[in-house]
Amino acid sequence: MSQPQQKPSQPHSQLTLNGQLKAEIPDPEVVPGASRRQFTSEYKLRVLAEADRCQEPGQLGALLRGEGLYSSHLTRWRQAVAAGQLSVGGAAQRGRPPAAHATELAQVRQENQRLHQQLQQAELIMTVQKKLSQLLGLTLSETGRGDSA
């Protein structure tokens, strides 16, 4: 009886007598399921802090080699920190950045809310002043607030 021949297209495979694959030895040249690495915000900030502490020549390169990073990683992470997109505990914002008018609208709404609170406080103070003047029996002209005609 003769042994079945291995197919030339599968040099690392072994065939059984019925022609099915027995076991496949993975090809060391092929990286299975390679995917993009994802780093947490805490990791990015920790590496940036370590990179900032590197003072001696070659220290930064050793840090990057040890972590398996490129200098472009540090550049992008520093830009994200400067833009306020990278912080501890929160994931970086994904997607399109908000439009300029949306940012301006949010600022205007915040300013409007602040001014509304100030107005309520001023109205409360004026109400208290009116009640106090009524209790003391003062008129507006005596306090110097009325029209002096």
CB 88 within 8 Å of CB 45:
yes
Asked if residue 15 lies in contact with residue 9, where contact means CB atoms within 8 angstroms, the answer is no
Domain count, the chain: 2
Task: Taking residues 19-39, report their average pLDDT.
Answer: 73
Q: What is the pTM of this model?
A: 0.41
- Inside any domain, residue 109: yes
**Residue range 11-33: average pLDDT?**
66
Calpha distance 115→121 (Å, rounded):
10
DSSP letter, residue 104: H
Q: What confidence tens digit (pLDDT) does each residue in 84-104 have?
A: 887 766 555 667 777 778 888
Confidence of residue 149 (pLDDT cuts 50, 70, 90): very low
pLDDT score of 29: 78
Q: Is residue 92 part of a domain?
A: no
Per-residue confidence (pLDDT) for residue 142, from 0 to 100: 54
Q: With 0-12 CB in 10 A as exposed, 13-18 as middle and 19+ as buried, what is 60?
A: middle
Residue range(s) defining the domain that contains residue 109 = 101-143
Residue pLDDT, tens place only, 128-146: 999 998 888 887 665 555 5
What is the 3-state composition of the chain as percent helix, strand, coil, each rounded to the nearest 5?
A: 50, 5, 45
Whether 67 is covered by a domain: the verdict is: yes
**16 assigned to some structural domain:** no
Q: Are 47 and 40 in contact (CB under 8 A)?
A: no
**Domain presence at residue 73:** yes
pLDDT band of 46, cuts 50, 70, 90 = very high
Checking if the pLDDT of 23 tops 70, the result is no
Residue % of the chain over a pLDDT of 70: 70
d(CA 45, CA 52): 10
Is 1 part of a structural domain of the chain? no
How does pLDDT run across 54-69, given as a tens digit for each residue?
A: 999 999 999 999 999 9
